[in-house]
Amino acid sequence: MAGWANYPVIKANVYEPQNAAELSALVREQEQLIARGNGKSYGDASLAPVMVSTLSLSNILDFDAENGIITCESGVLLSNLLRLMIPAGWFFPVTPGIKAITVGGTIASDVHGKNHPVAGCFSNHLMSLTLVTADGNVLTCSRTENPDLFWQTCGGMGWTGVILSASFQLMRIKSTQMWQKTVRASDLSGLFRAFEAHQDWPYAAAWVDCTHARRRGAVYFARHMETQDGPLVFEEKKSKNIPFFAPSWFLNPLSIRAHNYFYNRKSVDGERAVDLDHYFYPLDALQNWNRFYGRRGLVQYQFCLPEAKAEEGMHKMLEIIEKSGETPFLSVLKRHGERPPEAIHSFPIKGYSLALDFPRTAGMPALVKQLDECLLRYEGKIYLTKDALSRPEMGRVNPATFGEQKFCSLLKTRIAH
């Protein structure tokens, strides 16, 4: 078993309960376990010797199409919900960059999207959840019922129990089209200026060319269009599959530099209409794209820096990467707003985050150690959902605060020790 990054790889006993009763019985009989959704987290957050798959808990329990409220089991994929909600005029108020993830995983990671300054994380729109706790009992948690457990579970990486179901509020839309504006920048500072100058656009994410001396790139802003002729239909692009693992030499500094050069060529300033799938889920156009990295896998390093230190800190972090000789294939920059004080485990802090995907090489542990040291100096933090190598304190989460230690992942063990 492995996460999306194909590293680390472990042997595990994996159970797949078919209903709540089977899940409760399994939790009671196991000394330790961790829940796993669709296996799209990058690091070791859902890996343990005993794992419980939630994929069979895939029932949509209720859809209030008038008020935009969905209640479903934790193993339901976001992709399945999109096909239901969009024809009724609803969309996720917060969505990550892929749609083949479970609702349970969405809550456990408290995912953020391209609109964090205006919409926050998924927990901002979560109404309630049911949780199978260590004694096998099912508790309902919300802002008013078991509120401490509710907020411990949001972003809690599965360490409070196994999420059984959830209810959350959707956002009304009138079109399946987005109006997108592309702003190119010749360097990293230009990307920051573009974010600041376009704060009236609700969605924004930037591609950064880390192979370029000045870290050029492009910011893709967007807003929902207000009108559309005809019914709303979620049009998913037909995805292409990567059927085999690429050889280990396929992604190297030269090929990565070439990819970034051509990506920069096709990024053109201007505005145009694009569909929801194109703007929110570009990675879904390629199934199993993680195989590009070969069987060695990849390492993603995603970190967030406070606003006042973000630009300087990003430059320092990228200088460390350049000197290391390691080359990220993909780099995405986002802007973040304030975090609600009760969302104690949410990743974003007011400032900027950068996600970097590296081919896993022998030099990556040493590089991550250097990045961690630099990030601490700038008072930043990492995203635990993506982490496989960082030092314990980087996510600013203390496993001891979760009380019952039955729900234990490799990530929790690594942080605790």
| Residue 140 confidence (pLDDT) | 98
| Residue 392 confidence (pLDDT) | 81
How far is the CA of 100 from the CAs of 47, 61, 356, in angstroms? Answer: 18, 19, 21
Work out the mean pLDDT of the chain and round it to a whole number: 96
The pLDDT of 218-235, averaged and rounded, is 93
| Beta strand 90-91 pairing with 171-172 | antiparallel
- Does 56-173 carry CATH code 3.30.465.10? yes
How far is the CA of 186 from the CAs of 152, 207, 236, 332, in angstroms? Answer: 42, 12, 33, 16
- Structure token pair of residue 20: 């709540």
Residue 195, amino acid? F
- Structure token pair of residue 165: 């179901």
The pLDDT of 20-34, averaged and rounded, is 97
CA angle 326, 293, 156 (to 5 degrees): 85
Long-range (24+ apart) CB contacts under 8 A made by 96-99 are 97/280, 97/281, 97/282, 97/283, 97/332, 98/40, 98/281, 98/283, 98/284, 99/280, 99/281, 99/284
How far is the CA of 82 from the CAs of 137, 320, 333, in angstroms? Answer: 31, 40, 26
CB 372 within 8 A of CB 385: no
Task: Give the other-Cβ count within 10 Å of 68's Cβ.
Answer: 19
Residue-range domain boundaries for the chain: 56-173, 177-395
CA angle 42, 44, 307 (to 5 degrees): 60
| Residue 236 confidence (pLDDT) | 85
- Residue 42's closest CA among 401, 347, 405, 404? 347
The structure's pTM equals 0.96
- Structure token pair of residue 85: 């909600």
d(CA 371, CA 365): 10
Torsion, CA 395, CA 401, CA 405, CA 407, rounded to 10: -50
pLDDT band at 306 (very low <50, low <70, confident <90, very high): very high
The pLDDT of 1-5, averaged and rounded, is 97
Phi then psi for residue 50, to 5 deg, are -125, 125
Cis check for the bond before 8: say yes or no (omega within 30 of 0). yes
CATH code at 177-395:
3.30.70.2520
d(CA 159, CA 61): 25
The pLDDT of 304-318, averaged and rounded, is 98
Residue range 195-215, pLDDT digits in tens = 999 999 999 999 999 999 999
Residue range 124-168, pLDDT digits in tens = 999 999 999 999 999 999 999 999 999 999 999 999 999 999 999
